[in-house]
Amino acid sequence: MTETIAYEVPGVHCAHCEAAIKQEVGGVEGVERVEVDLEAKKVSVSGSALDDGTLRAAISEAGYDVVS
């Protein structure tokens, strides 16, 4: 079953940020799609059996703070 989790990531501001997050989060198990909204500063992750903690860690690993 596919689910989507959205995170607020204020540090994203350009295509480079977007690519870094997509690469890091895209490598997490179960992730099928990563969308980065540069205007809304939001990262939406879709996939199955997603682990919230692992996704947060992946965004941090890419170099960005998750505020919610």
For Cu ion, the closer CB: 30 or 44: 44
Figure out which of the listed residues 1, 16, 49, 68 binds Cu ion, where binding follows CB under 5 A.
16
The neighbour count for residue 67, using CB atoms within 10 Å, is 10
| Tokens read off for 55 | 């996704």
Q: Which stretch binds Cu ion (CB under 5 A): 11-19, 24-32, 36-44, 46-54?
A: 11-19
**What is the SS3 assignment for 16-30?**
HHHHHHHHHHHCCCC
Rounded least distance, CB 12 to Cu ion, Å: 7
Rounded least distance, CB 1 to Cu ion, Å: 33
